[in-house]
Structure 1
Amino acid sequence: MYPRIDFTYLSEPDMIAAGVLDAGRCVEVCEETFSLLGKGDYLMGGANHNSHGLNIVFPKETTFPNMPVAGPDRRFAAMPGYLGGRFDVCGNKWYGSNHANMEKGLPRSILTMMLNDKDTGAPLALMSANLLSAARTGGVPGVAAKHLANKDAEVVSVVGCGPINKACFTAIMTQLGAVRKVVCFDLFLDKAKEFANWAAAEYGVEAVGVDDTEAGFRGADVITVAASRLKPLFFKDEWIKEGATILVSGPFNTDESFLTSARIVYDHTSLQEAYVEDAIASGNKDAYYGSVIGGPFFRLIDAGKLPALKDSTGLGDVVNGEKPGRENSRERVIFIACGMAVFDISWGFDLLQNAKAKGIGQSLNLWERPSQG
């Protein structure tokens, strides 16, 4: 009457063995996920079913001796969702972050992913998710590069040379076959040069490291932005060449003239609408806009200078052929990605199938039968 429940545990080495670093495959799965988003075959958190997640943000001060206080990138987030199609599964990414981790030799964020049966709620898998999350974060702009970038793009610029942008760049390069030069920008020149050395060795291209912001943007055909939240990034309209594609996965700001003249494609317009709902509910919409990636767009929408989100284009619409993406080689395109749990779910599900097929991972028992007392 009460069957035994077992689930699969996948460590980080297990995830690597299951293919988490296969950027080309990750882009394919992310593209499939965008198609499902465009069709509406998904659910995320919140009353609107489109919330990015639920965050614990710590107070600046507390009278409780053990309660954490606010610090750079210090928060917890639960990111639940359901994804249909062949996935047909629920999941939740649990996300803990603290910039001070790096002083302890730890990554800034430590993540785990749980997949669950959609009907019973029983766990299907618990997996290490740092590499999973980074890969799907890269896979999203990889899909955007496939559908929005000019195919003859020769110069790629990497703005922010951390692990997230390495994943973005790796995925983007699976879609671009004509790249001959990579410009790597970071506030810390040693990081920029280290990334450039890796890119040159990995892809056999000319690669340079720079710490001048303008040099990181001017002349690039494709620009991937995943810079630090600790210092705001600003780029100028005049730096962006005709035909350029900017793939944004981190906070930024730019001239109003660029945002009102470029073609804008969002990851998912309903997600962006949920961000605006949260901004209104916060009681300080302008401050909230300053904390999220889409803030520069939202301010211009409120001012009537950009179309409403409901009238805008999501990448799922482009993937499904419902709306155009890039319409000619000369227009400048900007893609905005804010992160959605459904991509963690789809990539995690795909990797779980690989792991099962290869006998990777450890089976853990939840119960032989549940206690009734």
Structure 2
Amino acid sequence: MSHFAVVPGAAVSSVLAEAHQDVLRIVADTYLAHEQGHTVNPDSYFLRFPDKPNARVIALPSYLGAGVDTIGMKWIASFPDNVKEGLPRASATLLLNDYATGYPLACLEAAGISAVRTAASAATAAARLVTGTEPVRLAVIGAGVIARTIVDYLHAAGVRVADVLVHDLDATSAGHLSEHAKARFGVPVAIGTLDDALGRDLVVFATTAATPYVPADTALRPGQVLLNISLRDIAPELLLRCNNVVDDVDHCLKAQTSPHLAEQLTGGREFINGTLGALLQDDLTLDPDKPTVFSPFGLGILDLAVGHYVLREARRRGTAVEIPDFIGETKRW
């Protein structure tokens, strides 16, 4: 009980590189556990800075039962200006605690964990929402780490793709993601405009946009699926013409997300059809004559579940750094 483990980034990456199917299963199971009331997932806490208005650090505390019985907190920094220096936008750590005693168990480098849980969430939704027998025409708006990881997880989830269009304001990033998507899917990939992207069957938003830029009068069509991963790209008026699926209603309708703006616009939440957990339980019916938008705020329980798995695997492989006698006092008297 006095021991503590540190799992560095290289060890985390090694586990996750071979774990796509496991992560997809874990994420789906965690959504179901949340839907069934086996979690505690309070509000995320935002730390902002007057002289860096586009930067933030977020704390996501959570508890997951359902056989995991672990407490955790992800502490994730998002500093978009890092991109100008060739650095990743996000960095993160994950702290795990034992549910029986509350004692700390481990600290994991968690940027990769955060990326894969986000991507697995998107892919899980896409695999359920995309209908029809033909491969979809995919567009990815935003070409960073999250977009790259979503491409990997769409492939792992078996979403069949006919071709890919990439749109990003940074041509270098768009080029990198285009090559990655071509290697992953083995289909034609092009770089195109926002208008071109918005016409695709499956549209992924993975940007750092702070306010909506997709116009309210954008023409969408029945059956089209939009994965609103970055949450603030789409005009709220446009959401009102769509089916809307979220990860958690209370979490998603805050912090000036597009669904939150839609709630402010209408004064209610009637435009929300339900949650991904309900969809996975076949408890959610959507209007086939509308496009569907999936907006996940990002639940700390997903980081906790994936981190719990990574810790177990790293210990099994001997790549976790064990710190004996981390707890100073193990007896009350």
Normalized against structure 2, the TM-score is what?
0.90
Q: Whole-Å Cα distance in 2 between the matches of residues 268 and 259 of structure 1? A: 16
Return closer, same or farther for 1:72/1:245 CA change in 2, 3 Å cut-off: same
- The offset of 1:354, in angstroms, is 1.7
State, as a whole percentage, how many aligned pairs show the same letter.
Answer: 22
Alignment of 1:321-360 (within 5 A): 321-324=282-285, 326=286, 328=288, 331-360=290-319
Q: Whole-Å Cα distance in 1 between the matches of residues 247 and 37 of structure 2? A: 13
Q: Are 1:225 and 2:205 matched, yes or no?
A: yes
Equivalent position SS for 1:168: helix
Q: What per-residue deviation string (whole Å, max 9, x for no partner) do you get for residues 203-253 of structure 1?
A: 21110012x2101111x1111111222574314554423311111111212
Residue 145 (structure 2) aligns with? 163
Q: Whole-Å Cα distance in 1 between the matches of residues 132 and 105 of structure 2? A: 40
Residue 327 (structure 2) aligns with? 367
Return closer, same or farther for 1:227/1:100 CA change in 2, 3 Å cut-off: closer
Residues 263, 334 of structure 1: 8 Å contact kept: yes
Residue 299 (structure 1) aligns with? 264
- The offset of 1:194, in angstroms, is 2.4
Alignment of 1:95-174 (within 5 A): 95-102=76-83, 105-152=86-133, 153-174=135-156
Normalized against structure 1, the TM-score is what?
0.81
- Which amino acid in structure 2 is aligned with residue 224 of structure 1? V
Return closer, same or farther for 1:21/1:187 CA change in 2, 3 Å cut-off: farther
Residues 228, 293 of structure 2: 8 Å contact kept: yes
Q: Whole-Å Cα distance in 2 between the matches of residues 238 and 55 of structure 1? A: 32
Residues 151, 176 of structure 1: 8 Å contact kept: no
Residue 214 (structure 2) aligns with? 234
Q: Are 1:268 and 2:248 matched, yes or no?
A: yes
Return closer, same or farther for 1:239/1:8 CA change in 2, 3 Å cut-off: same
Q: What per-residue deviation string (whole Å, max 9, x for no partner) do you get for residues 305-353 of structure 1?
A: x6165xx4111111122223x464x541111111110110011111122
Residue 196 (structure 2) aligns with? 215
Which 5+ residue runs of structure 1 have no aligned equivalent?
46-50, 60-68, 276-287
- The offset of 1:44, in angstroms, is 1.9
Residues 195, 209 of structure 1: 8 Å contact kept: no
Q: Are 1:252 and 2:233 matched, yes or no?
A: yes
- Which amino acid in structure 2 is aligned with residue 316 of structure 1? G
Residue 30 (structure 1) aligns with? 27
- Which amino acid in structure 2 is aligned with residue 158 of structure 1? V
Q: Whole-Å Cα distance in 2 between the matches of residues 369 and 228 of structure 1? A: 44
Residues 211, 233 of structure 2: 8 Å contact kept: no
Q: What per-residue deviation string (whole Å, max 9, x for no partner) do you get for residues 261-315 of structure 1?
A: 3211111123235x3xxxxxxxxxxxx53xx34333323441x5x6165xx4111
Equivalent position SS for 2:282: coil
- The offset of 1:22, in angstroms, is 3.1
- The offset of 1:110, in angstroms, is 1.6
Residue 175 (structure 2) aligns with? 193
Q: Whole-Å Cα distance in 2 between the matches of residues 142 and 99 of structure 1? A: 24
Residue 44 (structure 1) aligns with? 41
Q: Whole-Å Cα distance in 2 between the matches of residues 266 and 103 of structure 1? A: 32
Equivalent position SS for 1:71: strand
- Which amino acid in structure 1 is aligned with residue 270 of structure 2? P
Q: What per-residue deviation string (whole Å, max 9, x for no partner) do you get for residues 151-180 of structure 1?
A: 534211101111111112222222344312
Structure with greater Cα Rg: 1
Q: Whole-Å Cα distance in 2 between the matches of residues 297 and 200 of structure 1? A: 36
- Which amino acid in structure 2 is aligned with residue 307 of structure 1? E
- The offset of 1:28, in angstroms, is 1.5
Residue 55 (structure 1) aligns with? 46
Residues 294, 338 of structure 1: 8 Å contact kept: no
Which 5+ residue runs of structure 2 have no aligned equivalent?
none
Equivalent position SS for 1:243: coil
Residue 63 (structure 1) aligns with? none
Q: Whole-Å Cα distance in 1 between the matches of residues 99 and 175 of structure 2? A: 46
Q: Whole-Å Cα distance in 2 between the matches of residues 371 and 104 of structure 1? A: 49
- The offset of 1:368, in angstroms, is 6.2
